[in-house]
A and B are shown apart, each in its own frame.
Chain A
Amino acid sequence: MKYDIILAGVGGQGILSIAFVLDNAALEEGLFFKQAEVHGMSQRGGAVQSHLRLSDKLIYSDLIPLGQAEMILSVEPLETLRYLEYLRPEGVIVSSSTPYTNIPDYPPLEEVCREIKKAPVHVLIESEKLAKEAGSAKAQNMVMLGAASIFLPLKEESLKKYIQILFERRGDQIIQTNLKALDLGRQAALASRRE
């Protein structure tokens, strides 16, 4: 088994928090993993991506080769499109449909979503709406992780465990909000797959 994921979003959206949960869940379940991330500029608002690889065998490359990823998991729809070349033809896109429009030339949202829908397997999630429903617009990343979880080779329990550890220091309310976000994302993805 191998499962390569491109994580994408905009700086400040919590991509690396998703990575934290996945890395630790993978270790917990006895899988090999590697996760390359780009960070350094602490300014917010630039494109951010991470290559996350899971496998039951030793993984060599920290980077995913083109056309090899099983999934693009993105907290922002335009960012989803930036990494299409990494996706294998039958790969899945799990993308937010909530745009982050901090640039002047952001294309019309319908066109962006139309491009995403060209992928054979795609799940578009209204992450902002669901995150607010869970209690905080900041929890969009966990909504998206929840949506992705229906495809991932990891147990929901392990994801939950590391969400709790990730937000441990921020108090119980924030933990609950994020767990709820995970669940709402998961339900939304299941519903969209049934359609």
Chain B
Amino acid sequence: MEKIVLLGDEAVALAAVQAGLSAAYSYPGTPASEIMEYLLRLSEGGKNYRAEWSVNEKVAYEEALGVSFAGKRAMVSFKHVGLNVAADPFINSAITGANGGLVVVVADDPGMHSSQNEQDSRYYADFARIICLEPTNHQEAYDMTREAFDLSERFGIPVMVRLVTRLAHSRSSVEPREPRPQNEGRPYGNAQDWTLLPANARRRFKVLLDHQNSLQEYSEETNYNQLVLSSKGKKFGVVVSGIAYNYFKEVSAYLPLEPSYLKVSTYPFPVKKLHQLLPMVDEILVIEEGYPFIERFIRGVSDISGKTIRGKLDGSLPPSGELTPDLVAKALGLPERVGLKVTDIKLANRPPQLCSGCPHIDTYKALNEALREFPRGNVFSDIGCYTLGALPPFQAIKTCVCMGASISMAKGGADAGIYPSVAVIGDSTFAHSGITPLLDAVYSNTNMTVIILDNGTVAMTGTQPSFGTGEPLDRLLIGLGIDKNHLKVIVPLPRNHQENVKIIKEELDYEGISVIIARRECIQSLGEKKRSPK
């Protein structure tokens, strides 16, 4: 078939559709959002699969699991921290097993381009004892995603595809293959396997453990794990995985001799292949994007006495941040190369900023003024564009931890005596993980104020639809037990400033729980609607 230009994320999406996908679910998060965006775009052409944003990653995962139970092929995709939210169904789905192919695509963000940590999802796959595929390039992202569905059905387990930012958000050409039809007529999952009562769960866990040998065999045999032995470059060898392989191949051309190397793209780790490499070399450099997962494995399980293992643990490569071809070149002992330098001026930084005209600007201005009389107060915040309220000129918020934490932490803060204790959370983040902690605070009638920034969209990741916006949000809040007299709606605009300050102050003064909705649409999503009249 003809080659097409695709993002790594898009290659995964296309592969899933052509692997006979019946349904896919996701929650927006960089760098994974484009997987669902592309599935949605492809389905505009009348494709017969479902592709939906879900309210959060746990829900997305469970929806996909339901599809798998029904015998159809399902995919769920999110960023690395999304897997924390979905960890419960994820781990347990390795015990129930998959019926229809179930593929979990996780996009890690080494270097934290737009994340609060750089956790390595390979540990999760290992923890759940399932297969993890780690493509190195776009074609592999396509091919391996297609294979992931087959593997899932062959072994009856969910299969993880691990991406990293540099692959998810890089474009190259991909050659697709003939599509496969969706599953038809597969029976439902077996009730005894899928009902995790202790007796069933014990039996199922044993099945999973018994499977480990076949997973290991697969990993030893697949062409994606490649051992290349060099007759000349003895003594020194390389074990390299995922995107790091690209950096290694980019710079190894400059080495006098290409070393023997083991390229790892599927886990469980191919131990036998490592044992073929070990006798050939005295020293191994492990190059991997993320945590020293392979490096620790090699140090832990292999007979490496007398050999030097280098990598992130001994400082040959940095323990955090993203790899680059230059870092890999340095670790291989190649000379540093540099380009030009700015000599005479200081380069001012240009950090991301709230768009001019953004509703959050007016909310923060009003909130800051209302809080001026309360020096002991605190504003707990959450994840979204409004997290930029931490930076000057606002410096309005003091925390940002994970989705929904603003409300739970504000309750904890209030319990510890903080007054006023304020939570600031976006509408979509509220739907994702804010509803349950608010219910908790209502139940305890905590003295706190929750400000929901209702801009009608998931703005930061590219204006995807929000589940908790507008009038339905108001009704939801009443339903949760918020007193009508302390549920206020303000419109964050410069001309409403004085009135908004007054309303916020009144609610800060109120002893009990109040919710203020600051409602005005994100100007980016407004602009998009104007550009494409639908």
Q: Which residues of chain B from 169 to 192 have any CB-CB distance to chain A below 8 Å in the complex?
A: 169-173
Q: What is the CA–CA distance of A60 and B356 in the complex, to the nearest angstrom?
A: 40
Q: Contact between A111 and B344 (Cβ–Cβ < 8 Å)?
A: yes
Given A43-B388, A65-B329; A27-B5 close (CB under 8 Å): yes
Q: Contact between A115 and B342 (Cβ–Cβ < 8 Å)?
A: yes
Interfacial chain A residues near B231, Cβ < 8 Å: none
A19 at the interface (CB under 8 A from B): yes
B242 CB → nearest A CB, Å? 12
Q: Contact between B342 and A65 (Cβ–Cβ < 8 Å)?
A: no
Interfacial chain A residues near B247, Cβ < 8 Å: 60-61, 63
Contact among B5, B169, B524 for A38, CB-based, below 8 A: B169
A152 at the interface (CB under 8 A from B): no
A155 CB → nearest B CB, Å? 17
Q: What is the CA–CA distance of A29 and B464 in the complex, to the nearest angstrom?
A: 35
Segment among A80-88, A124-132, A137-145, A178-186 that sits at the interface with chain B: A80-88
Q: Which residue of B lies closest to A40 (CB)?
A: B30
Q: Contact between B250 and A81 (Cβ–Cβ < 8 Å)?
A: no
Q: Contact between B352 and A43 (Cβ–Cβ < 8 Å)?
A: yes
Q: Contact between B170 and A36 (Cβ–Cβ < 8 Å)?
A: yes
A156 at the interface (CB under 8 A from B): no
B347 at the interface (CB under 8 A from A): yes
A106 at the interface (CB under 8 A from B): yes
Contact among B246, B338, B355, B461 for A62, CB-based, below 8 A: B246
A134 at the interface (CB under 8 A from B): no
B87 at the interface (CB under 8 A from A): no
Q: Contact between A67 and B338 (Cβ–Cβ < 8 Å)?
A: yes
B166 at the interface (CB under 8 A from A): yes
Q: Contact between B169 and A65 (Cβ–Cβ < 8 Å)?
A: no
Q: What is the CA–CA distance of A65 and B352 in the complex, to the nearest angstrom?
A: 25
B3 at the interface (CB under 8 A from A): yes
Interfacial chain A residues near B250, Cβ < 8 Å: 60-61, 65
> How many of chain A's residues have a CB under 8 angstroms from any CB in B?
55
Q: Which residues of chain A from 9 to 36 have any CB-CB distance to chain B below 8 Å in the complex?
A: 10-11, 19, 23-24, 27, 32-36
Given A40-B30, A63-B247, A84-B339; A34-B172 close (CB under 8 Å): yes
Contact among A43, A61, A66, A105 for B339, CB-based, below 8 A: A66
A28 CB → nearest B CB, Å? 10
B495 at the interface (CB under 8 A from A): no
B401 at the interface (CB under 8 A from A): no
Q: Which residue of A lies closest to B30 (CB)?
A: A40
Q: Contact between B113 and A19 (Cβ–Cβ < 8 Å)?
A: no
> How many of chain B's residues have a CB under 8 angstroms from any CB in A?
55
Interfacial chain B residues near A91, Cβ < 8 Å: 339
B348 at the interface (CB under 8 A from A): yes
Interfacial chain B residues near A194, Cβ < 8 Å: none
A51 CB → nearest B CB, Å? 8
Given A34-B170, A65-B337, A89-B339; A43-B350 close (CB under 8 Å): no
Interfacial chain B residues near A153, Cβ < 8 Å: none
Contact among A43, A60, A69 for B353, CB-based, below 8 A: A43
Q: Contact between A85 and B341 (Cβ–Cβ < 8 Å)?
A: yes
B354 at the interface (CB under 8 A from A): yes
B345 at the interface (CB under 8 A from A): yes
Of B172, B243, B337, B351, chain A has the most CB atoms within 10 Å of the CB of B172
Interface on A for B, CB 8 Å cutoff?
10-11, 19, 23-24, 27, 32-47, 59-69, 78-79, 81-82, 84-89, 91, 102-103, 105-107, 111-112, 114-115, 118-119
Ranked 6 nearest A-B pairs via Cβ: A40-B30, A46-B352, A61-B250, A67-B337, A40-B114, A67-B339
Interface on B for A, CB 8 Å cutoff?
3, 5, 30-31, 33, 113-114, 166-167, 169-173, 243, 245-247, 249-251, 324-326, 329, 336-356, 358, 385, 388, 459-463, 524
Contacts A/B (CB < 8 Å), 29 sampled:
A10-B350, A24-B5, A32-B173, A33-B171, A33-B173, A34-B171, A35-B170, A36-B171, A37-B170, A40-B30, A41-B30, A42-B461, A42-B462, A46-B351, A46-B353, A47-B349, A59-B172, A60-B246, A60-B250, A63-B324, A65-B251, A66-B326, A67-B339, A81-B342, A87-B339, A89-B339, A102-B350, A111-B344, A115-B343
